[in-house]
Amino acid sequence: MFERAAIDKTPTKSERIARNVQDLPGPKTLPIAGNLIGLDMHTLHLKLEHWCDQYGPWFNIKLGPERFTVMGDPQSIQQVLKQRPEHFSRIRTIKSVFKELGIHGVFSMEGREWKACRKTTVRGLDARHLQRFYPTIIKTVHRLKNRWQDQMSESQPIAVREDMMKMTVDITTALTMGYDINTLENDQLEFQIHLKRVFPILWKRLNAPFPYWRYIKLPADRNLEYSLEVIRNHVFTFISQARQKLAEQSDEMSQPGNFLESLLIQNDLNGDTSDESLFGSIITMLLAGEDTTAYTLCWIIYYLSIYPDLLTALRSELKEGIKEHEKPDWAELDKLPLMDAIIQETMRLKPVAPLLYLTCLQDTQIDDVYHSQGDLTDHSE
């Protein structure tokens, strides 16, 4: 009874005395460098997870001269996301880095610009569009299946990650621009080779404590600029072809067949016909759909390989829930609870974007912590 009474008197988050964000705990810092010494930015999320166990779900770190407040509580993160974009925006370096590379899109926009672009993007990826695109996904998956069967018959090792990247590039390129790039059956395509260069350097620049590339260009930076120019030429060709296709159609037939055509129709209605703005949206979609989906699929394969009972149960569900194994019906996919649970749990355990950097735009209180305007917040999922 005594222990129960003590539990009942535990203050809730809203009843705790409010703390200033500057008074939060955190690891010791060094002058100028802060916590950068010995910190591997490629495994930053793992280090933050360790510090979260040590200091709790709220703590401060310094990356060079910048102070970041790290938030590891899911409910608190949800509060912050609901207050975007009025109270919180993405960290200011994102917009400048994306604009420098000419790939300014929905991931780097803010305020009204972000809301408008997000609405356009959602319309271009609505359920009806995806359902019409479904046969293309099936065709690409069969290419992957055939590739793996051929490699197995010849006792060749299967590069799962590389092949998943190729499959997602094929699907994303077809979804975005209506172009069947088919990297699964063509290993050395120029477009895919150059696309692979973008994300690593982009990530490096977003996490760099100092924008060195504005003063000195390393070989990797020069390669990135060249690759972006090649990609730009390809995408502008697709834009021109899509414009011509829509112009040749009657008004009754002007139904978008892919994301690019949907953007063109909506942008023309809004009076924005800039190829540069279209390029930013297209490259954003290509980058967003390449690594993210591929890595999630790789983790799913990994977990199924170490949990054979789960794999057996999944096979039973697919056997019972899918009538035609070679071509599953769209409606059948909504009736596979175990498969859905496996996907959701994999994304929870191995999120492809474990960190989200935001800047506080106005004085705000999240739970019992006050954030002041200009504070940088790093949300660890």
Architecture of domain 119-306: Orthogonal Bundle (1.10)
Q: Does the reported pTM lie above 0.75?
A: yes
| CA–CA gap between residue 164 and residue 167 (Å, rounded) | 5
Output the pLDDT for position 265.
78
- Tens digit of each residue's pLDDT (9 = 90 or more) over 277-336: 788 888 888 877 778 899 999 999 999 999 999 999 999 999 999 988 888 888 898 899
* Residue 254 confidence (pLDDT) above 60: no
Q: What angle do CA 247, 250, 255 make, to 5 degrees?
A: 85
**DSSP state string for 229-243:** HHHHHHHHHHHHHHH
Q: How many CB atoms lie within 10 A of CB 66?
A: 12
- Tens digit of each residue's pLDDT (9 = 90 or more) over 101-119: 888 877 788 877 777 777 7
Give 339 or 275, the one with higher predicted confidence.
339
* Residue 3 confidence (pLDDT) above 50: no
Q: Where are the alpha helices (DSSP H) in 156-216?
A: 160-177, 190-206
Mean pLDDT of 255-270: 74
